[in-house]
Amino acid sequence: MLSQIIIPEATPARKIKGYKMPETKENLVSWDFVSEQMAQSRHYWISTVFPDNRPHVVPVWGIWLENRFHFEGSMQTAWGKNILQNPHIAVHLPDADKVVMIEGTAHLIQDDEIADKTWSLLDRTFQNKYQVDKGSPYIYVKPKRVLAWDGEGLTTMTRWLFNE
């Protein structure tokens, strides 16, 4: 069974001189903002790392379920081969105004890690979203750090740091 994702306290992102970033918690976005943006997006960009440390960025289909980003595709792709050698991954939405970026590690779900009912829910949610009759989002991202903000400025930039 996959462990529950515990959402840490939201904090202002590290302040950078010259940027109008929040210094207190009053203007931060909520975790609900993250969940809404992740759930409603049709496309997601993932970034993996080639063995020679070059970045590789590609759009994928995925779903947001139980505070996890799940996606699927062939492990024969460049990104698939990359996460088998180095599971570090970044995910971000295509929207530059309602921003969510997730940094973490990619995990391939094994058959015995989740119940058949959960597999069915993952498959059905993915297939309904993309109107396909196949597809199983068997990879999920375990978050280490999430950054999000709402609007063109950085005045709501919020950070969540997750325990390992």
Of 58, 135, 129, 136, which is closest to residue 91 (Cα–Cα)? 58
Q: Other C-beta atoms within 10 Å of 150: how many?
A: 19
pLDDT at 20: 87
Which three-class secondary structure state does DSSP give residue 83? helix
Share of the chain above pLDDT 70, in %: 99
Phi and psi angles of residue 35, each rounded to the nearest 5 degrees, phi first: -60, -45
Say if 3 falls within a structural domain: no
pLDDT at 102: 98
**CB-CB contact of 117 with 97 (8 Å):** no
pLDDT above 80: residue 1: no
Say if 37 falls within a structural domain: yes
Three-state SS string across 117-153, please?
A: HHHHHHHHHHHHHHCCCCCCCCEEEEEEEEEEEECCC
Total domains, the chain: 1
The CATH number of residue 80's host domain is 2.30.110.10
Q: Which residues constitute the domain of residue 40?
A: 24-161
Handedness of CA 140, 64, 58, 148 (dihedral sign): negative
Average pLDDT along the chain: 94
Q: Token pair of 65, please?
A: 């379920």
Say if 68 falls within a structural domain: yes
Say if 152 falls within a structural domain: yes
pLDDT above 90: residue 142: yes
Say if 94 falls within a structural domain: yes
pLDDT above 80: residue 135: yes
Q: Cα–Cα distance between 49 and 87 in angstroms, integer?
A: 9
* Span 66-112, pLDDT tens digits: 999 999 999 999 999 999 999 999 999 999 999 999 999 999 999 88
pLDDT at 89: 98
Say if 5 falls within a structural domain: no
Say if 19 falls within a structural domain: no
Say if 18 falls within a structural domain: no
pLDDT above 90: residue 54: yes
